[in-house]
Chains A and B, each alone.
Chain A
Amino acid sequence: MNIPYYPGCTLNTNAKDLQQCAEYSAQALGFSMVELTDWNCCGASLPLTDNSSMGYAGPANVLINAKEEGTKEGNEDKLTTLCAVCYNVLKRTNYAFNNDNNKLDTVNSLLETDYKGDTNVLHYLEVLRDEIGYDKVKEKVTTQLKGLKVAPYYGCFLLRPHNEVGLDDPYSPTIFEGLLETLGCEVVDFSHKGECCGSYSAMTNPENVANCSFGVVESAVAAGADIIATTCPLCQFNLDGNQVKQKSHFGDLDEMPIIYFTQLLSIALGKDINSISFDSNSISPLPLLKEKGFV
């Protein structure tokens, strides 16, 4: 099964750790991520501003390219992405196109071809749950991650605004938990699973980011987690990096390793841990993983 894939700006660069393991896992599960031949930045924050038709043009272009790719022979007529922000932007663009005729016309007037709002966008987690099925995933698991207490961190982009993005219930989601259980992890419910890590105010207000990230990490520690699994490159960066860079905010709190969910997935599917890069991690998860016996 070939699924068209949109990496977005970070997945081939700063977040290549997230992507590498996703690709490995895809192969192991019997599908491949076919990168779009032509794509552009999703705009990230642009559609979040008020009424910016320009901000929808960028993602609309991506969705048009995806539709083209999806209708090629041998490809699934879908688009998947790993980046939470890209997912959020693409879904919100689809929502705007399907619910606001004026926006549709205005944005289409900026594009070469008209977008009809019909590209089916799936997050990688949705591909695993709905296209592959967690049962199939379970069959392919070679290393049960037994004894590993994982706090599934959604961040905010995947869940909100609920009616436009709608990955799952914003306050009691289950899609991420379902995957982790399939891998044999012990899922830890913690109060900040959907709270913001501080996001891109890392540039303008690092204090704020430190506070937010602390809130997330602290609640995972309080809930008894060993490790936090993330779905977003920015969350990974904030939660991991701030524990070292802004140590004053974290006080006596034990260091909590932060890991991409695809890295955990690939370990469970048999990837050699030594081939997984943890270079970007300020706090390496390796000691913990060794301790639990997955190395």
Chain B
Amino acid sequence: MSRTGVFVCHCGTNISATVDVVKVAEEMKNQPGVVYTEDYKFMCSAPGQGKLKEIIEENKLDSVVIAACSPHMHEKTFRNASEAAGLNAFKVEMANIREQCSWVHPDKAEGTVKSLDLTKKMIEKVRNNEELEKITMPVTKRALIVGGGIAGIQAALDIAASGTEVVIVEKSSSLGGHMIQLSETFPTLDCSQCIMTPKMVEASLNPNIKIYTYAEVEALDGFVGNFRLRIRKKAKSVIEDECTGCGICIEKCPKKVPNPFEMGLGMTKSISVPFPQAVPNVPVIDRDSCIYYKTGKCRVCEKVCGPKCIDFEQKDEIIYEDVGAIVVATGYDTMPLDKFGEYGYGKFKDVIDGLTFERMASAAGYTAGEIQRPSDGKVPETVVFIQCVGSRDESKGVSYCSKICCMYSAKHTMLYRHKVHHGKAHVFYMDIRAGGKNYEEFVRRAIEEDGAQYHRGRVSRVYEREGKLIVKGADTISGKPLTIEADMVVLATAMTARKGADKLAQTLGISYDKYQFYSESHPKLRPVETNTAGIFLAGACQGPKDVPESVAQGSAAASKVLGLLSQETLQREPITAEVNEANCIACFDCLNICPYGAITSKEIKDRDGNLIKEVAEVNPGVCMGCGLCNAACRSKTIELRGFLDSQIFAEINSLAA
């Protein structure tokens, strides 16, 4: 007979307000196998855990049920405490009577009944639990970062500082992300390239950092501490190691194409680097526009290349990297504006988005920092900035706030006014969100020192009349409609997840929300971890945020990585499958169904070496504990430890009439 101890937590009043915890503890005394019950205010506290250990030792408990919060919250806490008292961690179960009971059922009678059922269920389960020993695994002391923007670079530098090798995989042909496109950053008006390029160069020179650009992660195998990634290095048509970055090929290339880095308004060549300070400074041939790939002619770049490193036949390269931890820092995109015909984007050349204005204002941009109307090149005398285009908009956009637009719109008014002293800047806003350090002061400066005019209201239409853009909006503070004749309109578009974010998440096995932002483990307390062990997040791929936050998250993810990799071995949960070789009929349904290839066939031989039979065998290092094999097994000989049929049937039976 088992000796089970039951602890019912009040959790202050979080549970006891809507569940009669005293009653639950009392009733459990009557359950078979239960030798001790107690209700307690805060089981997870130091005294609570101390009490747990004490009771286990005193009463020689062989199993414990803690009716409290979700196991996702404190299963580890209580398992560790029990282990310290000499009880096997896997003889400890939690009944979730908080997140899935007390917090969601306001009727105390109902909540108590449900808590009784749930606690009883776990008591029945735990009586069937086996003692399991943790599995130790080696750790590959290397890390990989997907994304070479500010968050990814920061994480790489911090990890490399410890001497650990880091690989950065960047999709575009240079590091930099979106930050390198910005002109000046709030709230200091630091030149973005000036603060970012040193970091990019530092990363490229660091001997511990290996950088793949124009490359993407295609597949992931393995598990925490032992990942293997398949990376596709797309063909640049340039031999990277031999290129000196002289730029003659770019100069001589005859084919001009719109420059995506300049938001389509400036031109570049078919062979190009996205911007002059690109890291690595190795050009890439865009095979979709290059004359040679289309017609077989030209090849001018090849002719003028000194080091002879143009290679038209170059193919994509597949590379495998083994790492122990991964940081995802893939950044953001901005919302496409085709649903916002009311602002005339796409119809009127002088209606542009925020990133385009950044390129215009940037000294290294296609206008060398001059603010000019895209339609006729004239300097705009009046510019209207519209905030919340797509954000906070449940009908046509996204429901969330993109966090940075209030700040960068204020910044834009300042940049504009600094360059066009007589210009008029108008901002249409719903609210001003300036919560960071020096942020509020920054917005006040835009209004009070730089004369930006702020109007609280939305814009219903932008239309063209005699070369001017007529902006029809509302001023809710005066209660009147407000029409402004503008020369240029800048739309603060919503920040969205990268296109293809879902595919990457599925490749890596991490979760994402309905907007395809990657899901953190806990919104408050674990912002840079995912629910997939060994994979961390940093930056805007997790949700809209600004540069300081992205940098902070990059460092935070790095610290998590270093914590993981600093261990000599990793302990893995022993929730793995095991085969009863006596009963196995070798149908290998399990082998075929296993998503990880953890099952192989094993030959059983007699003493003379004759084959008796084949059976299935599970590699506990690879097994991830999903239980598919257990469900598929015809003879029920392969079982998932920790979730045996007997344990589950015990739970079902306990819920019987």
The reply, when asked whether chain A contacts chain B directly with Cβ atoms under 8 A, is yes
Q: Cβ of B341: which chain A residues have Cβ within 8 Å of it?
A: 169-172
Most interface-central of A170, A172, A191, A219 (chain B CB within 10 A): A191
Complex Cα distance, B342 from A161, in Å, reads 13
Please measure, in the bound complex, the distance between the C-alpha atom of A170 and the C-alpha atom of B347, giving whole angstroms.
13
Q: Nearest B residue to A170 by beta-carbon distance?
A: B341
Per the 8 Å Cβ criterion, residues 571-627 of B in contact with A are none
Chain B residue nearest in CB terms to A193:
B463
* Bound Cα distance from A83 to B465, whole angstroms: 31
Within 8 A of A (CB), among B437-489: 461, 463-466, 470
Give Cα distance in the complex from A169 to B347, angstroms.
14
Given A171-B341, A195-B461, 11 additional A-B pairs, CB 8 A: A161-B395, A169-B341, A170-B341, A170-B342, A171-B342, A172-B341, A172-B347, A191-B463, A191-B464, A192-B463, A219-B463
State how many angstroms separate the Cβ of A180 from the closest Cβ of chain B: 20
Label chain B's interface by main secondary structure.
Answer: mixed
Least distance between A170 CB and chain B CB atoms (Å): 6
Asked if A222 lies at the interface with its beta carbon under 8 angstroms from chain B, I say yes
Interface size on A, residues (CB 8 A): 10
Q: How far does the alpha carbon of A171 sit from the alpha carbon of B347 in the complex, in Å?
A: 10
Interface centre among B342, B347, B465 (most CB of A within 10 A): B465
Measured in the bound complex, the distance between the Cα atoms of B464 and A171 in whole Å is: 13
Residues in A whose Cβ lies below 8 Å from that of B463: 191-192, 219
With A172-B347, A222-B465 in contact, is A191–B470 under 8 Å at CB?
Answer: yes
Give a binary string over A200-237; 1 marks a CB under 8 Å from any B CB, 0 the rest. Answer: 00000000000000000001001000000000000000
* Residues of chain B contacted by A195 (CB below 8 angstroms): 461
Give A82 to B466 CA distance when docked, in angstroms. 35
Chain B min CB distance to A8 (Å): 28
How many whole Å from A227's CB to the nearest CB in chain B? 20
A-chain residues with CB within 8 Å of residue B342 when the two chains form the complex: 170-171
Per-position binary interface string of chain B over residues 138-156, scored 1 when its CB falls under 8 Å from any chain A CB and 0 otherwise? 0000000000000000000
List of B residues within 8 angstroms of A172 by Cβ: 341, 347
Residues in A neighbouring B464, C-beta threshold 8 A = 191
CB distance from A208 to the nearest CB of B (A): 10
Residue from A171, A191, A222 with most neighbouring chain B CB atoms (10 Å): A171
Q: When chains A and B are docked, how far (Å) is the Cα of A9 from the Cα of B342? A: 32
Kindly report which residue of chain A lies nearest to residue B339, judged by CB atoms: A162
User: Cβ of A161: which chain B residues have Cβ within 8 Å of it?
Assistant: 395
Q: How far is the CB of B34 from chain A (nearest CB, A)?
A: 47
Q: Could you list 20 A-B pairs, sorted by A, with CB under 8 Å?
A: A161-B395, A169-B341, A170-B341, A170-B342, A171-B341, A171-B342, A171-B344, A171-B347, A172-B341, A172-B347, A191-B463, A191-B464, A191-B465, A191-B470, A192-B463, A195-B461, A219-B463, A219-B465, A222-B465, A222-B466
Query: In the assembly, what is the distance between CA of A171 and CA of B344, in Å?
Result: 8
Please, which residues of chain A bring their CB within 8 A of the CB of B470? 191
- Mark interface residues in B342-368 (1 if CB within 8 Å of A CB, else 0): 101001000000000000000000000
With A and B bound together, what is the CA distance between A170 and B343 in angstroms?
A: 12
Within the assembled complex, what's the spacing in Å between the Cα atoms of A192 and B463?
8
Q: Shortest Cβ distance from A289 into chain B, in angstroms? A: 28
Q: Which residues of B contact A192 (CB under 8 A)?
A: 463
Per-residue contact bits, chain A 156-184, to B (CB 8 Å; 1 contact, 0 not): 00000100000001111000000000000
Distance in angstroms between the alpha carbons of A222 and B467 in the assembled complex: 13
CB nearest neighbor in A for B481: A211
A191 proximity list for chain B (CB < 8 A): 463-465, 470
Which of chain B's residues have a CB closer than 8 A to the CB of A171? 341-342, 344, 347
* Cα separation A292 to B211 with both chains bound (whole Å): 72
Distance, CA A280 to CA B133, complexed state (A) = 92
- Which residues of A sit under 8 angstroms from B395, Cβ to Cβ? 161
Q: Could you say which residues of chain B place their CB within 8 Å of the CB of A170?
A: 341-342
Shortest Cβ gap from A160 to chain B (Å): 10
Residue ID in chain B nearest A223 by CB atoms: B465
A163 nearest in chain B by CB position: B395
Q: Which residue of A lies closest to B344 (CB)?
A: A171
Q: How far is the CA of A188 from the CA of B344 in the complex (A)?
A: 18
**A65 nearest CB across to chain B (Å):** 32
A219 CA / B342 CA spacing, docked (Å): 16
Please measure, in the bound complex, the distance between the C-alpha atom of A169 and the C-alpha atom of B464, giving whole angstroms.
19
A67 CA / B470 CA spacing, docked (Å) = 46
